[in-house]
Amino acid sequence: MRDFEKISFEQFAKDVANDRELYDSIIIPQRDSNSTAGYDLHLLADLELKPGEVVKLPTGLKARFQPDEVLLLIVRSSTGFKYNIRLCNQVGVIDSDYYNNPDNNGHLWTKIQNEDSVTHKFKRGDALVQGVFMKYLTTDSDQNYNKQRGSEY
């Protein structure tokens, strides 16, 4: 099973706003076509990003996926190319056990910086970041992985 879903309303009220209408308007990411790798994450509010400014953005989302997969959060190509905006950590690596994290319900956040010399304005619903699900490999000597598999390593 692999999917995006909204965080709980209680967590949303704590992290973003006690606003049911805003919560109900969260866009669940979908691919644009069968050949699109990324799932666009949409802004919850209008955004004005000044040169050099850093902003931490809530998504209102969490993601569920298999233990041998990772969710990568990456700036959309057009965001970086057109606006010179980047993720502060370059690529967000979300592990499968982050889903329903007891501290924050697995809420996915992004943190972006405007590296351009001009202010950029974005509208609620615009997509600046995308999520890509990927399988990953481990070493044969990985003790944690092999214990989960029931191996004798």
Domain spanning 3-149: which CATH class is it, in words? mainly beta
Sign, CA dihedral 140-145-146-149, equals negative
User: What is the per-residue pLDDT for 152?
Assistant: 47
Burial of 17 (0-12, 13-18, 19+ CB in 10 A): middle
- Confidence (pLDDT) at 144: 72
Residues of the chain with pLDDT under 70: 145-153
